[in-house]
Amino acid sequence: MDSNWLSYSLSDFLMFGPEVFLRLFVRINQDIWPWQGIAVIMVVAIGALLVRGDILARRGILLLMAAAWLWSGAGFLMEYYGPVNLPATWFGWAFVLQGALLTVVALVWRWDTVAEQSAMARWSSGIGWVVIMGLSPLLTVAQSGNWHSVALFAVTPHVTALGAVPCMLVLPRRIRWLFLLLPLVWGLFSVATLWTLGTRVLVVIPAATLALAVLALLFSPRRAQNRG
Amino acid sequence: MATELTRRKFLMALAATGLSLRLPSLMAASTGETITRTIPSSGETLPAIGMGTWRTFNVGGDQYLIDQRTDVLKTFFDLGGTLVDSSPMYGSAAEVMGEALDTLNARDKLFSATKIWTGDGDATREQDRASRRKWGIERFDLQQVHNLVAWQAHLETLQQMKANGEVRYVGITTSHGRRHGDFERIMEAEPLDFVQLTYNVLDREAEERLLPLARERGIAVIVNRPFQGGSLFQRFQSEPLPSWAGEAGCGNWAEFFLKFILSHPAVTCAIPATTKVEHMKENMGAMVGPLPDEQQRSQMADYVAGL
Ligand SMILES: NC(=O)c1ccc[n+]([C@@H]2O[C@H](COP(=O)([O-])OP(=O)(O)OC[C@H]3O[C@@H](n4cnc5c(N)ncnc54)[C@H](OP(=O)(O)O)[C@@H]3O)[C@@H](O)[C@H]2O)c1
């Protein structure tokens, strides 16, 4: 009986094909049109808040990030992805929980002081983040050849998780790890799923999420931590 | 259900789909009757090609893809197919099947086969009910214990359900060559109408014990993964068919793979899955024309092994 498990491969657990997966992005874009504008505004707003960098800006980043977890979890994961892939529903709940927790932290956490960052560092992190969030949605387009499959931050989970990891650096180190666990597990799950699905171009996003989450867990830059 | 499939009906269906115009070779091959098989426990006739739904029909709420899969199912029925196999394990496939059947209004053409797939041995009836609701049918033609999960309890309930007329046939399934020892013991001990297992030109373990046992015990055999989940095409489609393929009744690789299976005397039905109307037409082409004989069968296996 046990040796039977050795005869299973990842593809035995994959219940759907690449066509179905790539159409999830097309479908959600059709259904939410023209509300994609909100996702674009969220990206620009988080970029601007990263440039500003003070405590109020940090609360704003966390609140916007919380909204992104909630939207992509309750929308894409539960409504679109879940019906064809059961674990996606479980991740949907995890995304919603992450969003709820982050909202609480954003509202109640007391930063006594935050480390000063040079203007150069703030501008490069803000602009860098916006550029990555602007380019990574295009990978689904490259994979499918269809502009309607663009995978926006806050709407779709893969880009949301990627964008979340650098944003978690605004959290004090004490609680940061808690919010890096989901990107880590989601990254692992998505790398395995997208690789098995054969949508190899898309693997870049969860692989980068995974790598960044590991780096953030192992090396937490002191400048971002709570000194209070 | 028990659809009477005549050659005339089949040719009319071909003409209706326009297939006869596009595939003259299929028409030429269809000078014989379409290939049907008898279910040993009842004597009922079944077309020898059925349809699987793993992955292919799990499209969620995507109306565009539901319509597209409905076309695949329509082609299957039009070309004389009846047996559709699914499982509660296949995500949204059962709901999609129900919607496609609604659209086509084709439940009278259907031989419905699904599975019980739960570790809870008391949940047989509950899962059967849930599946019936999704398919929109009053009872399944065939209920199978999926991968032998909690098989004792499920089989006992299914036999009671059969006795009450709540299901017509009862079976068990495995795939990928797994648990053949247990499978064999159950085939020997239990009164089964059907077994479902993996058999194709590369995966031939079933030839050793299970297929002969099925003949001996009068159990119908459904063959899953006839294309090894599609990998047979990936490996061999770029290769030429052997020059003698026509003599064995095979005009393309789909027919080659399927007719190898159907020509085993124990096999009742193969259930290839596809997302494409064109592939469905190719696969249904294996239901007409001559089947390879014993010598051609070993030639086929040798040819593929040598590629
Ligand atoms: N344990 C169990 O009970 C069990 C296990 C496995 C399978 N099953 C049943 O058996 C069914 C069949 O097995 P399967 O779906 O795993 O594999 P399969 O039928 O061997 O292969 C399906 C694949 O073959 C491709 N294909 C089909 N016709 C083709 C053609 N004419 N030309 C080129 N490619 C073609 C399909 O791709 P396209 O979509 O591109 O055509 C699909 O990817 C399942 O759907 C399921 O119902 C049961």
pLDDT band at B52; cut points 50, 70, 90? very high
- Mean local confidence (pLDDT), B49-78: 98
Residue B154's nearest CA partner among B130, B125, B184, B174 is B125
Position A185 in a domain? yes
Q: What is the ipTM of this complex?
A: 0.90
Q: What is the pLDDT of residues B90-140, one digit of tens each?
A: 999 999 999 999 999 999 999 999 999 999 999 999 999 999 999 999 999
State residue B112's pLDDT score: 98
pLDDT band at A220; cut points 50, 70, 90? low
B8, pLDDT greater than 70 = no
User: By CB neighbour count within 10 A (0-12 exposed, 13-18 middle, 19+ buried), where does A148 fall?
Assistant: middle
Domains of chain B: 2-305 (3.20.20.100)
Residue B229: list chain A partners with CB under 8 A: 11
Half-sphere exposure at residue A42, Cβ-oriented, CA atoms within 13 angstroms: 24
Residue B87: list chain A partners with CB under 8 A: none
B88, pLDDT greater than 90 = yes
Q: What is the pLDDT of residues A179-212, one digit of tens each?
A: 999 999 999 999 999 999 999 999 999 999 999 9
Position A228 in a domain? no
Q: Which of B60, B178, B229 shows the shortest C-beta gap to A20?
A: B60
Locus of tokens 């960044």: A212
Position A181 in a domain? yes
Residue A221's nearest CA partner among A183, A184, A169 is A169
Bridge partners of residue B84, in order along the sequence: B51, B112
- DSSP E strands in B174-219: the ranges are 194-198
Share the mean pLDDT of chain B.
91
- Shortest distance between the Cα of A186 and any Cα of chain B, in A, equals 21
Residue A85: list chain B partners with CB under 8 A: 91
- State how many domains chain A has: 1
A227, pLDDT greater than 60 = no
Position A197 in a domain? yes
Ligand 1 and B285: CB distance under 6 A: no
pLDDT band at A172; cut points 50, 70, 90? confident
Q: What is the pLDDT of residues B226-243, one digit of tens each?
A: 999 999 999 999 999 999
Bridge partners of residue B46, in order along the sequence: B37
Residue B91 parent element (H or E):
none
- Shortest distance between the Cα of B98 and any Cα of chain A, in A, equals 15
For residues A46 and A27, give the distance between their C-alpha atoms in angstroms, rounded to a whole number. 26
In A, minimum Cα distance to B88 occurs at: A15
Beta-carbon separation of A23 and B61 below 8 A: no
Does B215 reach chain A within 8 Å, measured CB to CB? no
**Boundaries of domain holding A101:** 15-110+117-218
Range of weakest confidence among A6-10, A143-147, B128-132, B146-150: A6-10
Residue B275 CB coordination number (10 Å): 17
Position A227 in a domain? no
B289: left (phi over 0), alpha (psi -120 to 50) or beta: left
Ligand 1 and B272: CB distance under 6 A: yes
- Shortest distance between the Cα of A64 and any Cα of chain B, in A, equals 29
Q: What is the pLDDT of residues A55-76, one digit of tens each?
A: 999 999 999 999 999 999 999 9
Position A223 in a domain? no
Position A189 in a domain? yes
